[in-house]
């Protein structure tokens, strides 16, 4: 037994996973444990044998997702048009690791990228279909948006202070007044609809494609029940031109929801640009959001 607590990416490795499996799920202790090729920030993921994966949150702020996903993934899956992670088992803190952790069924596919997709318009329609199917699922007892979803599904106003600070920091770098107009529009386009299921992070890294088509949607850690506007952000972070218009038409959301979605996309791009992260990408997202506001607001 390791006495010191393991927390953060640096303290999680294959040896820890092997110890946790041996202690809590000895039926799988002989299976090889290997890191996945593409990993996220919130969790470290390892392949367990051929058919399973192990996901360990890197911080306590991500740990709430384990129990939520374990409960709700089996309920959501039958109503969705593509595969989502299958919850197999839930591990407990141990071996110095302080959080619950998850064992899931392995899903084949590669993360979505423009050069891995045969037809971007087809992908856009498929993602829109997934979002609409998710929104139709009964929300009774579902997890209301809040801290567990990093406030996706609530009003963008939760991140107002961050956005204002980023705008001040980017004076002279972007068109601040135009960006402020987009943000103000997002704040005034309040959500007054019936709460719906949302994924919370519909992004290329959470979309698996196989043979050029959408095969699975993964990582429901920020999912919940509330305002689904956050699920539209991929319109500017991945799509453009015809594929964006295909997505807009197929997902069939009202203008106010699109205003809040532009706010979500702008907030994230602003705070990451202000921290000098992915500068070119975030400049492009901001420019696309501003242009979209001019055309559709």
pLDDT tens-digit map of 218-269 = 999 999 999 999 999 999 999 999 999 999 999 999 999 999 999 999 999 9
What's residue 6's pLDDT?
Answer: 52
State the angle between helix axes of 255-274 and 176-188 in degrees (0 to 180), rounded to the nearest 10.
140
- Sketch the domain layout of the chain as residue ranges: 9-105, 110-296
Q: Does residue 16 register a pLDDT over 50?
A: yes
pLDDT band at 2 (very low <50, low <70, confident <90, very high): very low
Q: Does residue 8 register a pLDDT over 90?
A: no
What's residue 22's pLDDT?
Answer: 98
What's residue 3's pLDDT?
Answer: 35
Q: Does residue 9 register a pLDDT over 60?
A: no
With tokens 């051929």, the residue in question is: 50
Q: What is the pTM of this model?
A: 0.94
Going by C-beta distance under 8 Å and a sequence separation of 6 or more, which residues neighbour residue 67?
90, 100
Write out the two tokens for 152. 């996706």
9-105 shares its CATH topology with 110-296: no
Q: What is the CATH number of domain 9-105?
A: 3.30.200.20
Gap between the Cα atoms of 226 and 219, Å rounded: 18
Q: Which class would CATH give 110-296?
A: alpha beta
User: Which CA distances in Å does 119 have to 122, 209, 233, 242?
Assistant: 5, 12, 20, 11
Overall average pLDDT of the 20-49 stretch = 92
Gap between the Cα atoms of 241 and 95, Å rounded: 51
- Tell me the CB-side half-sphere exposure of residue 109, using CA atoms within 13 A: 26
Q: What is the percent of the chain with per-residue pLDDT over 90, rounded to a whole number?
A: 92
């Amino acid at each position: 037994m390791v006495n010191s607590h393991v927390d953060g990416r640096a303290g999680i490795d294959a040896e820890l996973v092997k110890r946790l499996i041996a202690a809590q799920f000895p039926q799988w202790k002989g299976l090889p444990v290997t890191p996945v090729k593409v990993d996220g920030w919130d969790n470290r993921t390892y392949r367990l044998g051929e058919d399973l994966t192990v996901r360990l949150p890197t911080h306590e702020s991500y740990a709430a997702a384990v129990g939520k996903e374990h409960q709700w993934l089996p309920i959501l899956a039958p109503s969705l048009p593509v595969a989502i992670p299958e919850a197999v088992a839930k591990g407990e803190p141990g071996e110095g690791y302080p959080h619950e952790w998850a064992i899931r069924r392995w899903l084949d596919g590669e993360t979505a990228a423009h050069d891995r997709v045969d037809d971007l318009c087809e992908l856009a329609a498929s993602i829109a279909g997934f979002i609409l199917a998710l929104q139709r699922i009964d929300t009774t007892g579902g997890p209301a948006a809040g801290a567990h979803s990093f406030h996706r599904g609530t009003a963008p106003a939760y991140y107002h202070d961050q956005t204002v600070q980023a705008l001040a920091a980017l004076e002279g770098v972007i068109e601040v007044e135009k960006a402020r107009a987009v943000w103000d529009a997002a704040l005034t386009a309040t959500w007054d609809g019936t709460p719906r299921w949302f994924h919370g992070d519909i992004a290329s890294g959470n979309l698996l494609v196989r043979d050029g088509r959408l095969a699975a949607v993964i990582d429901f850690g920020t999912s919940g029940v509330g305002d689904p506007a956050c699920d539209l952000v991929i319109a500017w972070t991945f799509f453009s031109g015809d594929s964006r218009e295909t997505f807009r038409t197929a997902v069939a959301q009202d203008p106010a929801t699109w205003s809040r979605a532009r706010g979500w996309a702008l907030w994230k791009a602003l705070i990451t640009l202000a921290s000098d992260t992915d500068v070119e990408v975030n400049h492009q997202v901001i420019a696309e959001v501003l242009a979209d506001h001019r055309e559709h607001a």
